[in-house]
Structure 1
Amino acid sequence: MQFNDLLNAICEAIKTRLPELKVCEIHGGRFTLDELKKISTRAPAVYVALLGTDAAAAAATGQPEVPLKLAVFIVAKDEVGLSRTAGALNLVEVLLQMVKNDTWQQPGVLEARSITTKNFYNGDLHKSKIALWGVSWVQPILLGDAPWLDGNPVNVTIYASRESKQVTS
């Protein structure tokens, strides 16, 4: 299992379950207020992020098991007949159920644990008429036979400005 594959699978599952979202995409992590103001025009939205990992350990299979710290951030705004708070809470409930019961149809993904929610409400968000909630969890994955484990050089493509360069690490 590769990190990007899991993030893409989570996004696709959310888009399938919640087709009325204006946005569901991978995000680099937490938000600044300025960024939230810019993206709030495309609410309701869900952003999926990998926040880090816990220490890897060997699973019973001998494969490296890495607990990923994942989160989905929910951005909602007032809609006709539905407040931003109610809309955000509706999405939180659906996403809690999805996280609790899903391995995202990916091999090597284990059951989620330590599922929590957080309301990021503050005065600035209130003035911006945005609701921001997060659902976070730990989802262990088995790395499996990664191409870099054989000791040979690994080619990684790095994009800098508009040029593509091959780097061997």
Structure 2
Amino acid sequence: MLNDALTAITHWFADQLAVLVSDVDSHPGRFTKAELERMLLSNKAVRIAIETAPGLTITGQGIHQARLLMAAYIICGDSSGVDRHKSALEVVEHIIGLLPYNRFDTTYLRSIDPKTITAENLYSGEIDNRGIAMWGVSWEQTVTHQGN
């Protein structure tokens, strides 16, 4: 159930962001500094992760529902005269515009409530010194699955 949700969302974003970002993939969660630097070989990357699964319910019909906190991490470096911070904001704005009421072309993901969407600048002096701008866009996503 969780792997299916992560895969569906990641593939959907890879298709939708193809014009802006060629490097879109899933990720297990937090980043190391070395990993961020490796990703910047492409100058722009998006990583999709399940941050937490704070709620799980099972209905009387045996339907499992998990409430997930999803995140899209936007990592940008300077390229071709485009400032990394402006490049990251362009991707953030695009992602935020795609999220409301989205089900990612599935029947098992519920639509996203726009009130759950947040964007956070993950700036730090250390990240900036490495030539990286990083943002996180998060939202709550409910996934359902018929239990066995």
**Normalization by structure 2: what TM-score?**
0.89
Map residues 14-29 of structure 1 onto 2, 5 A cutoff.
Answer: 14-20=13-19, 21-29=21-29
Indicate the SS of the match to 2:31: coil
- Structure 2 unpaired stretches of 5+: none
For CA contacts below 8 A with separation 6 or more, give which structure has more relative contact order. 2
Contact 2:5–2:143 (Cα < 8 Å) also in 1: no
Q: Which residue of 1 aligns with 2:102?
A: 102
Percent identity, aligned pairs only, is 28
- Structure 1 unpaired stretches of 5+: 150-169
Aligned length: 145
Residue 22 of structure 1 and its aligned partner are, at CA, apart by 3.0
**Normalization by structure 1: what TM-score?**
0.78
Alpha-carbon RMSD: 1.7
In the aligned structure 2, how far is the partner of 1:58 from the partner of 1:115?
A: 25
Contact 1:108–1:144 (Cα < 8 Å) also in 2: no
Structure ID, larger Rg: 1
Q: Which residue of 1 aligns with 2:143?
A: 141
Indicate the SS of the match to 1:101: coil
Residue 58 of structure 1 and its aligned partner are, at CA, apart by 4.0
In the aligned structure 2, how far is the partner of 1:115 from the partner of 1:122?
A: 22
Map residues 62-81 of structure 1 onto 2, 5 A cutoff.
Answer: 63-81=63-81
Q: Which residue of 2 aligns with 1:38?
A: 38
Q: Which residue of 1 aligns with 2:10?
A: 11
Indicate the SS of the match to 1:5: helix
Residue 101 of structure 1 and its aligned partner are, at CA, apart by 3.3
Bigger shift: residues 41-50 or 17-26: 17-26
In the aligned structure 2, how far is the partner of 1:96 from the partner of 1:61?
A: 34
In the aligned structure 2, how far is the partner of 1:87 from the partner of 1:50?
A: 24
Contact 1:74–1:133 (Cα < 8 Å) also in 2: yes
The yes-or-no answer on 1:54 pairing with 2:54 is yes
